[in-house]
Chains A and B, each alone.
Chain A
Amino acid sequence: MTATQTLIELEDVTFGYTASSVLTDISLDVESGEYVGIIGPNGSGKSTLMQLMLGLHTPDSGTVRLFGQSPRAFVERERVGYVAQDVTENTKEMPITVFEVVLMGRFPHAGFGRLTEADRDHAREALRTVGIEHLADRRITKLSGGQRQRAYIARALAGEADLLVLDEPTVGVDAESVEAFFDLLDGLNDDGMTVLLVEHDIGAVLEHADRVVCLNRQLYFDGPPERFVETDALDKAYGTNIRRGEEVTLA
C-alpha cells in the first residue's frame, strides 16, 4: 500500500434543505484505505452527508474537500464510484445490458471520445471481479437485487475508482446475497479500495467496517466499532424520537 491520502475532508459542515438544518457542525476526514460505515436513524441526514461529500449539495457553512479539492471543481470523477440507494426500485424498465451499465464506469475516462477495446477489457475484468461475467449480456432489469448491486460495484471498478461510496446498498436485497455482498466489499477493501458505506443495518456495519460514524443531525460517534459498543452513542442517536424541524434534545 502506498502512503495514505486524505480523500474526504469535512470541516464544520452545516446544511439544510430548508431553513432548519439537517446536519450541524459535522467534521470528519476519510483516509485512503479506510472502511467507514455511516449509521443513524431514518431522517438523520446520513444520505445527505454522503451527497455533500460528493458535491451533490453545497454546504450552508463549513467546507468540503474531495481528494483535496472543492467537490464542485473536482475533475477526477472517475476516482469515485457511486452505488445509489435502493437500486431494485430505482432501476428503470430500460433496455440496457449489464455490460452497457458497467461500461458507463469508463465514460469519465473517454469524455467525448470513443470507447476503446481497452475500456471494454476494464469492464470485463470488473465483471469477473464481482463474479457476474456470465450475466454480461442480460438486461439489467432481469437481475436479482444482489446481482444488480454487483453490477453497480463493477461499474465503479471498471472506472478504476479508489473511493467506493454506497448509499444503503442492501435495501431490497435478500439476506443471503447481503452476506455475499459484504464479503465482496471486505475483499475490495483488503485490496486497497476505500469504502464509504451508508447503511441502516448497524450489525453489518459493526461487523465489517473498521470505523463507525454515528450521526443524527450531529455527530455522535466517530471511531472503531469496538469502542462504539462501549459508548452510549447509539442510544443518544437513536433513543430520542426526533421529528423534522425540532432541535435534538439529549437525554
Chain B
Amino acid sequence: MTGIVGLPYAGVEWLLERWSDLLGAVGEELGIKMLQYGFMHRAFLVGMLIAVMAPLIGTFLVHRQLALIGDALAHTAFAGVAVGLFVNSVLGTGVSPYLTAVVVGMLAALAIELISEVTDAYNDVSMAIVLSTGFALGSVLISINAGGLAVGVNQYLFGNLSTVTSQSAILLVGLFVVISLVVGITYKQLLYVTFDETAARVAGINVRWYNRIMVMLTALVVVGAMQIMGVILVAAMLVVPVAGATQLARSFREALLASVVLAELAVLMGITLSYQYNATAGGTIVLVAVGIYVVAVLLGKLQSRRATVEDPAEQAAD
C-alpha cells in the first residue's frame, strides 16, 4: 500500500493493533481464553462493524419491501468469488476473490435496479432469477475448475472466523467509514424515498439515483459480511435485526438505533457461542438473531396490548 491510501491504511493498522492489545489485556485480566487470540480480536471487530452496517442499510431495504435483495446479491457475490478463484487458477494471478465478489456484486446490483426501472416494478421474480443465476454461475465455474478449489469454497459459503486477516479487517473498517458517511449524508433523502417515493419525486429528489446508491451499498455490505457470515446467511443480518427493531420502535430513528443494538447483541453472543461450541459463526449469529427477533415480537405485542388498554382513557380525555 502506497500513495494516498498508504497513510490511512497505516493509521487503521495501528488502530487495529491497539484494539488487539486492548482485547488481549481484557482477556488476560479476566481470564477469558477466547480473547487471547489475534483472530478472535479481528473477528469481534469485523462482526461489530457488520452489525452496524448491515441493519443501517437493511432498515431502508426492509421498508422498501426489498428484503430479498440481500439474498440475491449474496448469491451473485458468490459467483464473483468463483470468478476470482477461476481467474486465479487459469491465469495464475493472485486477485482476492473478495475483490471480484465486490465487482460482480455491484454489477448485479445495478442490473437488478435497471431491470426494475425498465420493467416498471420490483418483483420477486426478477430477484429470484438474479439469485439463481448467480449461484448457478458460481457452481458451474467451481465444478469446471474442480480439484483443490471445492475445498476453498466452503469458507465463502459458510464463512469462517479464523480466516479474517488483518488486511480484510482494515478493508472492512474502510467500508464501514464509506457506508456510515454515505448514509449519514443522504439520510433524509433515503428516508423520503423509502417512505413515499412519489412525494420524494415531487420534492425534487432523484429517486433513481438513490435507489442505485442503496443497492450498491447493499452489495458492499454483503461482500464485507460474507467472510464471517458466509454467502447463504449474509442476508439475514440485513433483515432479521431490522424486523425485530420494527416491533419495538415507534420512530424511524429509534428503529435504526434498535436494529443496530439487536444486531450487535446477536453478533457478540453468536461469535462467543460459536467459539465455545466450535460451531460455524454465521449460523450461530443468525440463530441468536432470530431468537432475539422472537423476543422482540413478544415484547412488541405486550407493548401494544398495554397501549390499547391506555387508549380508551386517552380518548375520553380528548
A interface, CB within 8 angstroms of B: 54, 56, 74-75, 77-78, 80, 82, 84, 90, 92-97, 99-101, 104, 107-108, 110, 112, 115, 134, 137-139, 155, 159, 165
Set B188, B189, B195: member contacting A96, Cβ < 8 A:
B195
Whether, in the assembled complex, B306 has its beta carbon less than 8 Å from a beta carbon of chain A, the answer is: no
Known A-B contacts A84-B196, A112-B186; the reply to A56 vs B202 at CB < 8 A is yes
A95 touches B252 (CB 8 A): yes
Give chain B nearest CB distance to A1 CB in angstroms: 25
A139 to B255, CA, bound (A): 12
B252 touches A77 (CB 8 A): no
Whether, in the assembled complex, B251 has its beta carbon less than 8 Å from a beta carbon of chain A, the answer is: yes
Q: Which of B201-258 contact A (CB under 8 A)?
A: 201-205, 245-246, 249-255
A20 to B204, CA, bound (A): 29
A56 to B203, CA, bound (A): 11
B192 touches A82 (CB 8 A): no
A110 touches B188 (CB 8 A): yes
- Which residues of A sit under 8 angstroms from B305, Cβ to Cβ? none
A75 touches B255 (CB 8 A): no
- Which residues of B sit under 8 angstroms from A139, Cβ to Cβ? 250-251
Whether, in the assembled complex, B199 has its beta carbon less than 8 Å from a beta carbon of chain A, the answer is: yes
Q: Which of B11-65 contact A (CB under 8 A)?
A: 63, 65
A108 to B189, CA, bound (A): 9
B252 touches A100 (CB 8 A): yes
B253's nearest neighbour on chain A, judged by CB, is: A100
Q: Contacts A78-B203, A137-B250 given; 6 further ones with Cβ under 8 A?
A: A77-B202, A94-B195, A94-B252, A95-B245, A100-B252, A108-B204
- Which residues of B sit under 8 angstroms from A95, Cβ to Cβ? 245-246, 249-252, 254-255
A–B pairs, 17, beta carbons within 8 Å: A80-B203, A82-B203, A84-B198, A94-B195, A95-B245, A95-B251, A96-B195, A96-B251, A96-B255, A97-B251, A104-B188, A104-B195, A104-B203, A110-B188, A112-B188, A137-B251, A159-B203
Whether, in the assembled complex, B136 has its beta carbon less than 8 Å from a beta carbon of chain A, the answer is: no
Interface string of B287-318 (1 = CB under 8 A from A): 00000000000000000000000000000001
A93 to B194, CA, bound (A): 12
In the A-B complex, the 9 residue pairs with the closest CB atoms: A77-B204, A95-B255, A82-B202, A97-B251, A96-B252, A95-B249, A94-B63, A107-B188, A77-B203
A104 touches B250 (CB 8 A): no
Known A-B contacts A94-B194, A137-B250, A139-B250; the reply to A56 vs B201 at CB < 8 A is yes
B199's nearest neighbour on chain A, judged by CB, is: A82
A84 to B255, CA, bound (A): 25
A101's nearest neighbour on chain B, judged by CB, is: B195
Set A54, A100, A134, A138: member contacting B202, Cβ < 8 A:
A54
B63's nearest neighbour on chain A, judged by CB, is: A94
Known A-B contacts A110-B188, A112-B185; the reply to A82 vs B198 at CB < 8 A is yes
A140's nearest neighbour on chain B, judged by CB, is: B195
- Which residues of A sit under 8 angstroms from B253, Cβ to Cβ? 100
A94 to B192, CA, bound (A): 12
A82 to B192, CA, bound (A): 13
A75's nearest neighbour on chain B, judged by CB, is: B204
Whether, in the assembled complex, B191 has its beta carbon less than 8 Å from a beta carbon of chain A, the answer is: yes
A137 to B307, CA, bound (A): 13
- Which residues of A sit under 8 angstroms from B188, Cβ to Cβ? 104, 107, 110, 112, 115
Most chain A beta-carbon neighbours within 10 Å: one of B194, B198, B202, B253: B202
A81's nearest neighbour on chain B, judged by CB, is: B202
A10 to B189, CA, bound (A): 30
Give chain A nearest CB distance to B261 CB in angstroms: 14
A56 to B206, CA, bound (A): 11
Set B195, B199, B245, B318: member contacting A92, Cβ < 8 A:
B195
Interface string of B174-198 (1 = CB under 8 A from A): 0000000000011011011011101
A95 to B63, CA, bound (A): 9
B250 touches A107 (CB 8 A): no
A130 to B204, CA, bound (A): 25
B203 touches A108 (CB 8 A): yes
- Which residues of B sit under 8 angstroms from A90, Cβ to Cβ? 196
Give chain B nearest CB distance to A13 CB in angstroms: 18
- Which residues of B sit under 8 angstroms from A137, Cβ to Cβ? 250-251
Give chain B nearest CB distance to A31 CB in angstroms: 20
B194's nearest neighbour on chain A, judged by CB, is: A94
B254 touches A104 (CB 8 A): no
Set A80, A107, A112, A138: member contacting B192, Cβ < 8 A:
A107
A101 to B249, CA, bound (A): 15
B198 touches A56 (CB 8 A): yes
- Which residues of A sit under 8 angstroms from B189, Cβ to Cβ? 107
A190 to B250, CA, bound (A): 35
A80 touches B202 (CB 8 A): yes
B248's nearest neighbour on chain A, judged by CB, is: A95
